[in-house]
Amino acid sequence: MTAKYYAILTNQGAAKLATATALGTQIHITQMAVGDGNGSLPTPDATQTQLLNQKRIGAVNTLTVDAANTNQIIAEQVIPENEGGYWIREMGLFDDEGVLIAVANCPETYKPLLQEGSGRTQTIRMALIVSSTAAVTLKIDPSLVLATRKYVDDKIIEVKAYSDDLLKQHVAAANPHAQYLQLSDIAKFTPVGVPQPYPAATPPIGWLKCNGAEFDKAKYPGLAALFPSGYLPDLPGEFIRGWDDGRGVDAGRALLLPQEDAIQNIVGTFGRTQLFQDSTLSGAFRQTGSSLLSVGLAPAPSNATGYGASNWSFDASRAVRTATETRPHNIAFNYIVRAA
């Protein structure tokens, strides 16, 4: 039975294909056109340089080699739903120089417009047998083509398979996050024995509280090398101070030795003073009583012409915050130490 619908190379297309095959170059297919054949099913003619009655031309969507026939290429174009109002009976492929490379007829189908009450996105395909599929390739402008549902579905499957494989490799990898700090790297940044402020009462695994407790020297040899006594530093309620190391600011102290709280000594003198009745005291000073300067004088501070005397007291709590220790403003953290 003679084929009713088929595609052929035009004379110009055949010549270009022969030249490309001989020179090892390629024909770049860029566009696909459809027409109505002037109202009847046309017969493809190799001498054609254009369709009989072209209705639309646009970018080729895909150009693939048929899996069942390696000498056959399949060109595909998607016509969007907002185009139509014509019959499709003929198709043609054009290269990047505007030359009609192949022409075909097809079962007639009407492409409606939305305004007509019906609309669809239509995919048209053209299969063409060539002597060398390597000599024919698609030159595409991605901004002009439309994707078919099958193409999208295939790509979704392809991407899912790729991502699933990546995830599988990620889970199976011994160290999938080499760019992040690893537990094995902790020693590089926090050596054994270095105290760290920690915001919780219970230290994490591998760490101990700096609370003066005894530790297992056999279990933590690195810690034992730093604290030969087998006891951790007793840091609850303590401040850590930089070792003097010969600077002379806190001379005479060895590492890990404690130091009692203290303030710099405050010294001064207070000579014989006359206290008048209108004298004003402020800050930490207070009058605590009176005494006689000499026999016969009144025991209370005199008026502006008298010589009465008074006792004074000094109490820093009248001017500043005080406590049972000398300390700076601070925030409480739990000091812990990496044990291994």
Q: What is the CATH number of the domain that holds 228?
A: 3.90.1340.10
Do 340 and 200 belong together in one domain?
Answer: yes
**What is the Cβ-side half-sphere exposure of residue 156, based on CA atoms within 13 angstroms?**
7
* pLDDT for position 91: 94
User: In this structure, are residues 264 and 292 in contact, taking their beta carbons and an 8 Å threshold?
Assistant: no
**Residue 56, domain member (yes or no):** yes
| Rounded Cα–Cα distance for residues 241 and 243 (Å) | 6
Q: Are 220 and 104 found together in one domain?
A: no
User: What's the total number of domains in the chain?
Assistant: 2
Q: Please tell me the predicted confidence (pLDDT) of residue 162.
A: 87
**Are residues 296 and 147 both part of a single domain?**
no
Query: Tell me, what's the pLDDT at 294?
Result: 45
Residue span of the structural domain in which 297 resides: 179-256+267-340
Q: Using CA atoms, how far apart are residues 202 and 261, in angstroms rounded to an integer?
A: 28
Nearest residue to 222 (alpha-carbon basis) of 249, 187, 253: 187
Q: Is residue 173 part of a domain?
A: no
Residue 128 and residue 185 in one domain: no
d(CA 70, CA 127): 12
Identify the pLDDT of residue 156.
Answer: 82
DSSP track, 20-60:
HHHHT--EEEEEEEEE-GGGS-----TT-SS-SSEEEEEE-
Structure tokens of 165?
Answer: 């494989």
Report if residue 224 sits inside a domain.
Answer: yes
Residue 38 lies in a domain: yes
Q: 324 with 184, same domain?
A: yes
Alpha-carbon span 46 to 102, nearest angstrom: 8
Looking at residue 274, what is its pLDDT? 59
| The pLDDT of residue 127 | 87
- List all residues 6 or more positions away from 179 whose beta carbon is below 8 Å from its beta carbon: none
DSSP three-state, residue 116: helix
Phi, psi angles (nearest 5°) of residue 41? -65, 120
* Residues 208 and 334 occupy one common structural domain: yes
Per run of 10 residues, the mean pLDDT along the chain (length 340 residues) is 82 90 88 94 93 93 84 87 91 93 92 82 86 70 57 77 86 80 69 90 91 93 92 91 89 87 76 58 66 46 51 80 86 90
Question: Cβ distance 37 to 105 under 8 Å?
Answer: yes
Instruction: Please indicate, yes or no, if residue 2 is contained in any of the structural domains.
Output: no
